[in-house]
C-alpha cells in the first residue's frame, strides 16, 4: 500500500457528513424560548428575606419554633393553637428512633443522675428537685421501653404566621407566643433562618430547621392536631354554635345516608326547644313538618306559621280512620296485606296479648271486613271507601268462634262505649299544610299509645301516597316504645323513611323505656343524626354504652346547661349550644315563667289598643260576620283599625 493510498482512505474517513436536521428535543427547546412557564406564573414578584421575617409579594411571614414543652400534657392540649383565630401554618415532624440506642443512652443518663444525687447526699447537700424529677421520668420511660409498651420518637413543632402588614405580624406573633406560653410551651423566632423556617412549614415534608424534642408514644399521641370538629356546610339550617371553636353548626340532614334523627335529654334540658327551632328553620327551606305533640307544646308555633293544629279528644272534630289505604301500588308489594299487618300490630296495642287462635281469628275478620266493602288484593278495588272499626266489630260478632266474641268485647268501647267517636269514623284530616301538628293532650294516658300509633300509620299512609320533602317529629316517643308492636312499627318507619324523602325525628326523655327492646337500638342505628343534651346520672351509663361516649363526653352531658349537648352527624360530632333570635325564642319557648310574661304583654297591648280607640260592633250582624267600626281616635299615634283588630279579634261591647 502506497503512501497516497493511505492518504485517500484517511480523507474518506474525515469527509463531512450531510446535515440530517435538528432533533425533536432541540426543536422543542428552541420553540420554548421566550414562552412563560408555570413557574413564572405562580412565582411571586419579589422575595425579601429579613433576619426576623420574610416578605413574599405583599405578604409577611414569620416562623416560630418550639424549644420547650410542659412536663405533663393531656389530650387536646394543642387545641388553643389549632383553634387560634388567625390563619396559621403549623408543621409537625415525627422521627422514629431505634429503641436499643435510646436504652443505652438512658442507662448512662440514669447512672449520671444517680451518681449526682448520691454525691449530694454524701456531702450533706439538698438534692436538686429538678434532677430527682428527671431521674424518675427516665426510670419510668426505661421501664416502658424495655416492656415494649412505649416507643421513642423525636418531635418538632413549627408555626408560620402570615400577615398583611408588619404591624399585624408583630401583634399576632405576640398573641401566639402568649397562647403558647399559657400552655407552658416555650416558643422562639427562627431568627436569621426565616427562609428555612418558611420552607419547613410549606407542604413539601422537609425539615430545614431540625429542632426536635424527645417524646414517647403516649406523649406524642396527645399532639394529634385534629381535635376540633366542624359541622359547617354550604347548605342547610343553623342548629347552633360549636362550643369547641365558636363556629356555626350549619347542616342539612337530607345530605346524610338517611334524614332520621334521635334526641335524648332529661326534662327541661331544651330538647323540644331545639326541635321546634329546627322545624321553624326547615320550613323556610321548603320542607313540610308533621308533629305528634302529646303536650300541646307546638301550638303557638303552629298558629304563628298559619299551620294546621289538630287536637284529638272526645269533642274534637278531627277524625282518623285506621283502616285507610294509601292507594299506592308498588311493584312486588301488596298494599292490602301490608295494611292488615299494620292493623294486627295496632289491635295488639288496643287488646293486649293475643293467643295464636285469637290472631288467626282477627286475621280472618280483617280480611272479611275489607271484603264486605269490595276491597281485595286487586289494586283496582282499593279505591273503594275503606271500612270502619264498627265494620270489624260486626264481622267479629257475626263469627261463631268464642275467640271472636272475646275480640269484639275488647274493641266494643271504641265502637259503642266510652271511647266512641274517636277512631271509628272516616278520616277528615288533610296533610297539605306545610306545618301540621297533632295534639294528644286531651287524651288519657291509656289512649295515647293507641292514638300515636293510628296517627303515625295515617301519616305514613299519606307520605307513601305523595312524595315530598318532609320531617316527621314524634315527641315523647317512649310512649310507643312501651309496646313491642308499636315500637316495631316506629322502627319500620325509621328503616323505610329514606325511600319517601322523609326524615323521622324521635324525642324522648325516658332512656330506659326507649332501649328496653332491641327496637330502640335499631332506631338509633338507622338515624344518621343523634343529639344528646343534658342527662341525669341515672341515664348516663346507658347512653354511654349505646353511643360509646368517652369520659369527657359523659362529664359534658352531666354538666351541660339548658340548650347544650352533643351533636352527632355520621362520623362527626361536636359540642353544640342551641341559639335562637328573640323573635324565634318567643315562638318556641315552653318556660312557664316566660309564657306568663308573654301572655301579660299581650294582654297589656290589647288593653292599650282598647284605650286608644273606641270600638263598637255593627248591630244586627251574626257573630261570625261581626265587623269593626272605629268611631273616635284621640291620640295621633293610635293604632290603626287593622292593628286593633289583629290584637283584639272579634268581641262585643
Domains detected in the chain: 47-221 (no CATH), 237-308+430-583 (3.40.50.300), 335-415 (1.10.8.730), 591-648 (no CATH)
Q: Cell for 328?
A: 299506592
At residue 632, the pLDDT reads: 39
Distance CA 585, CA 196 (A): 54
Helix axes 356-372, 389-397, angle to 10 degrees: 120
Q: Which residues of the chain have pLDDT under 70?
A: 1-34, 226-230, 327-333, 613-653
Distance CA 315, CA 312 (A): 8
Distance CA 471, CA 506 (A): 11
Instruction: Name all contacts of 544-552 with Cβ < 8 Å and 24+ positions apart.
Output: 546/515, 546/521
Looking up cell 422575595 gives 47
At residue 629, the pLDDT reads: 43
At residue 210, the pLDDT reads: 92
At residue 125, the pLDDT reads: 85
At residue 29, the pLDDT reads: 67
End-to-end CA distance of the chain: 147
DSSP string, 278-344: HHHHHHTTT-EEEEEETT-TTHHHHHHTT-EEEE-STT-S----TT-------TT--HHHHHHHHHH
| Contact between residue 296 and residue 561 where contact means Cβ atoms under 8 Å apart | no
Of all helices (H) and strands (E), which one includes residue 471?
Answer: strand 470-474
User: Quick one: 279 exposed, middle or buried, by C-beta within 10 A (0-12, 13-18, 19+)?
Assistant: buried
Distance CA 398, CA 567 (A): 55
CA nearest 434: which of 231, 539, 290? Answer: 290
Q: Cell for 598?
A: 308573654
Q: What is the pLDDT of residues 15-54, one digit of tens each?
A: 444 445 556 666 666 666 667 778 878 888 889 999 999 9
Distance CA 217, CA 195 (A): 31
Of all helices (H) and strands (E), which one includes residue 67?
Answer: strand 59-68
At residue 3, the pLDDT reads: 41
At residue 227, the pLDDT reads: 55
Amino acid at each position: 500500500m502506497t503512501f497516497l493510498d493511505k492518504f485517500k482512505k484517511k480523507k474518506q474517513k474525515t469527509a463531512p457528513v450531510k446535515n440530517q436536521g435538528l432533533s425533536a428535543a432541540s426543536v422543542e427547546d428552541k420553540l420554548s424560548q421566550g414562552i412563560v412557564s408555570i413557574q413564572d406564573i405562580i412565582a411571586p414578584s419579589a422575595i425579601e428575606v429579613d433576619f426576623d421575617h420574610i416578605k413574599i409579594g405583599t405578604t409577611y411571614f414569620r416562623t416560630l419554633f418550639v424549644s420547650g414543652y410542659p412536663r405533663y400534657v393531656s389530650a387536646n392540649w394543642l387545641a388553643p393553637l389549632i383553634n387560634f383565630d388567625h390563619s396559621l401554618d403549623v408543621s409537625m415532624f415525627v422521627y422514629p428512633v431505634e429503641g436499643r440506642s435510646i436504652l443505652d443512652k438512658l442507662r448512662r443518663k440514669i447512672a449520671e443522675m444517680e451518681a449526682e444525687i448520691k454525691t449530694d447526699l454524701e456531702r450533706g447537700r439538698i438534692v436538686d428537685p429538678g434532677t430527682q424529677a428527671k431521674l424518675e421520668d427516665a426510670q419510668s420511660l426505661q421501664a416502658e421501653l424495655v416492656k415494649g409498651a412505649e416507643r421513642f420518637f423525636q418531635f418538632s413543632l413549627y408555626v408560620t404566621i402570615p400577615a398583611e402588614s408588619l404591624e399585624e405580624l408583630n401583634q399576632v406573633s405576640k398573641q401566639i407566643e402568649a397562647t403558647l406560653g399559657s400552655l407552658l410551651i416555650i416558643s422562639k423566632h427562627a431568627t436569621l433562618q426565616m427562609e428555612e423556617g418558611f420552607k419547613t412549614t410549606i407542604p413539601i415534608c422537609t425539615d430545614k430547621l431540625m429542632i426536635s424534642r424527645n417524646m414517647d408514644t403516649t406523649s406524642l399521641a396527645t399532639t394529634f392536631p385534629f381535635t376540633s370538629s366542624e359541622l359547617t356546610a354550604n347548605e342547610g339550617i343553623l342548629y347552633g354554635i360549636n362550643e369547641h371553636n365558636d363556629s356555626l353548626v350549619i347542616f342539612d340532614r337530607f345530605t346524610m345516608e338517611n334524614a332520621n334523627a334521635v334526641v335524648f335529654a332529661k326534662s327541661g334540658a331544651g330538647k323540644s326547644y331545639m326541635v321546634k327551632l329546627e322545624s321553624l328553620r326547615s320550613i323556610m327551606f321548603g320542607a313540610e313538618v308533621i308533629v305528634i305533640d302529646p303536650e300541646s307544646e307546638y301550638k303557638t308555633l303552629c298558629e304563628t306559621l298559619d299551620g294546621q293544629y289538630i287536637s284529638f279528644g272526645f269533642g274534637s272534630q278531627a277524625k282518623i280512620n285506621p283502616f285507610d289505604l294509601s292507594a299506592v301500588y308498588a311493584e312486588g308489594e301488596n298494599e292490602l296485606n301490608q295494611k292488615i299487618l299494620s292493623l294486627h300490630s295496632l289491635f295488639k296495642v288496643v287488646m293486649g296479648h293475643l293467643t295464636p287462635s285469637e290472631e288467626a281469628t282477627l286475621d280472618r275478620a280483617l280480611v272479611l271486613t275489607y271484603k264486605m266493602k269490595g276491597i281485595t288484593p286487586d289494586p283496582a278495588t282499593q279505591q273503594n271507601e275503606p271500612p270502619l272499626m264498627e265494620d270489624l266489630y260486626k264481622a267479629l260478632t257475626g263469627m261463631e268462634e268464642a275467640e271472636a266474641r272475646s275480640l269484639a268485647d275488647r274493641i266494643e268501647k271504641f265502637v259503642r262505649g266510652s271511647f266512641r267517636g274517636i277512631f271509628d269514623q272516616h278520616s277528615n284530616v288533610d296533610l297539605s299544610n306545610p306545618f301540621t301538628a297533632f295534639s294528644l293532650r286531651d287524651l288519657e294516658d291509656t289512649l295515647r299509645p293507641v292514638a300515636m300509633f293510628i296517627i303515625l300509620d295515617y301519616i305514613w299512609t299519606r307520605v307513601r301516597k305523595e312524595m315530598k320533602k318532609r320531617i316527621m317529629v314524634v315527641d315523647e316517643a317512649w310512649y310507643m316504645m312501651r309496646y313491642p308492636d308499636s315500637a316495631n312499627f316506629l322502627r319500620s318507619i325509621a328503616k323505610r323513611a329514606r325511600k319517601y324523602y322523609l326524615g323521622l325525628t324521635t324525642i324522648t326523655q325516658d332512656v330506659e323505656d326507649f332501649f328496653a327492646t332491641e327496637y330502640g337500638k335499631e332506631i338509633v342505628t338507622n338515624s344518621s343524626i343523634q343529639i344528646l343534651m343534658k342527662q341525669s346520672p341515672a341515664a348516663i351509663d346507658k347512653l354511654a354504652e349505646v353511643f360509646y361516649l368517652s369520659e369527657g363526653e359523659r362529664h359534658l352531658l352531666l354538666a351541660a346547661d339548658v340548650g347544650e349537648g352533643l351533636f352527632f352527624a355520621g362520623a362527626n360530632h361536636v359540642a353544640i349550644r342551641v341559639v335562637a333570635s328573640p323573635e324565634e325564642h318567643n315562638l318556641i319557648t315552653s318556660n312557664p315563667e316566660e309564657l306568663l310574661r308573654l301572655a301579660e304583654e299581650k294582654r297589656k297591648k290589647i288593653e292599650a289598643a282598647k284605650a286608644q280607640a273606641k270600638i263598637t260592633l255593627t248591630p244586627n250582624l251574626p257573630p261570625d260576620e261581626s265587623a269593626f267600626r272605629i268611631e273616635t281616635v284621640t291620640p295621633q299615634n293610635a293604632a290603626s283599625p287593622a292593628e286593633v283588630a289583629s290584637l283584639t279579634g272579634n268581641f262585643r261591647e
